[in-house]
Structure 1
Amino acid sequence: MTQQPFSRPGAVDLSGLKRPAAAAGGTATEGTGLAGAYTVEVDEQGFQSVLEASVTAPVVLVVYSPSRSPESATLASDVASIAEEYDGRYLAGLVDIDAHPQIAQALQVQQIPLMYVLLDGRPVTEPLPGAPSLEQLRTFFNQLGQQLTVQGISGRHQPRSAAAGEDGEPAADPRYAAAEDALVAGDIERAVAEFQRLVEANPADAEAAGRLAMAKVLQRTQGVDLQAARAAAAASPDDVAAQTMVADLDLLGGHVEDAFARLVELVRRTSGEDRDAAREHLIGLFAAVGNEDPRVLNGRRALASALF
């Protein structure tokens, strides 16, 4: 598969879809049935949001027809699978033109399958016809990533909400599967490494950062005797290591406000490197609990008061 030129102006005008028409009547087809953190099946009403998403990071749009071209459905599945591997570098947008013929008309589709790369609301490659192999697709995605890096385009998509499972609960985010499996197996070190990988891939992912922070709390407290830790902290009230250990244990025990209060007071009493260490540790615990939690909001106000 020949690498297509990558340029910002765009090759095809998609502006006609920015004001989506009503969906076509009749019974919709099932489509690919794919769902993932970085995969979305696109209809007329959703096309605007896909264009908007491409302002953040590239959208790889695949036009396919399960009834007329089985290989096009395979391409859609392969693109979705690869996009999931990049942790938000790309969003796979899948257009089933059997279900949504108006999109095919707007795109002036002459053949299927067809693949576009959208950025800033417009195509940045010529439409890519045919059904490349999985290996060719991986090469294409890698080369595209290199070109994006050279041009300083580093944005990432936030994960999409997964569909609800059979019990009505949201399906698990596939990004965290390896780390969660490690936690279930009691392998805290591997869980920390998996979460760290996700954070390094997308530093703006607050959820991954929060999970990493909690995994680190588990890592630090492995095998620690609670009573011994409390005795050490009582004996050395300004010892940062002793106080942060008890704060970690309090957090795991559900005493979140006690953990925060302990470290806020430590910040208030200490100075220099000790104060910095206590503050950084507290910020890590804020992330572990979740920045929208009211206890965290109160803790941040208390920390600001202690600092200033």
Structure 2
Amino acid sequence: MAGAVDLSVLKATAEGRHAPRGPTRARPAPESRPDAGQAGAPTGSAVIDVDELSFETEIVERSTRQLVVVDLWAAWAEPSRQLSPTLASLAEASGGRWVLARVDVDANPRIAQAFGAQSVPTVVALVAGRPVAMFEGAQPADQIQGWIDEIFAKAGHLLPELADEGGAPEPEQDPRMAAAEELMNSGDMDGALDAYRAIAQLEPNNVEAASVVRNLEFVTRAQAHDPDVVNDAAPGDVDAQLAAADVLLLGQRPEAAFDRLIDLIKVTRDDDRGRARARLLELFDLFDPAEPFVVAARRKLATALY
């Protein structure tokens, strides 16, 4: 869960312009909007366009009653033109379960700044006035749907309708997942890993199985390293530095682990650099991409590469 967005400047702007306090009508789509001109483009209350004037009402206040997914887009960004219609279609198909709030970052740069967006498109989900998840770039519809389902599973209890019903209904547990979890709880990590891998291979969109596989693979690998490698690894020794990063991360020191790999990228070339970069991206995937130390490390990586 990310921290609260700094809304003070935008709120003051809205109040100074006498922003309406109730629900506002969605504004007509400008011609530059990603889905403009496309036959059958989704319209209606499931998709709204938001600016600084309506930001507090249509995003912050609305998120106390309903999941709000914010699409920070720009007309010049081709990934936005791919992603925005997909998000709109999913919002329409949700039957009011969540709403898509589209924000043109060129016309409303302070909204993008409030969310700390580093690229376009950036998608942020808000529940109870707080951002709870985000991703960057175009994604296929099935992955976005899985992302939204996970948000409801983890944060849906904060929404009034679900809270009144005692929280989101518990889905029936997959017996294969239950069996794999039992193996893990009993200490059979190899057996659990094989079981989760089998599920992930059969169901590429099973977010939970894929996540457990990533974590178990990392823990298994990291526990096999000699902890002394953190101090003994030579600066240019790729294998040793990869191992050192694993040990640091296993010891709950993600910033140090990321920095170790970024330093390795700076002093290596070709295949060795590719191995270091691939390992760093693999470690990023173990965390929420909105974590501040992940965001900071991605910036350092971009500097090291370019």
Give your verdict on TM over 0.5.
Answer: no
TM-score class, shorter-chain normalisation, is: 0.3 to 0.5
TM-score by length of 2: 0.43
Larger Rg: 1
Higher relative contact order (CA 8 A, sep 6+): 1
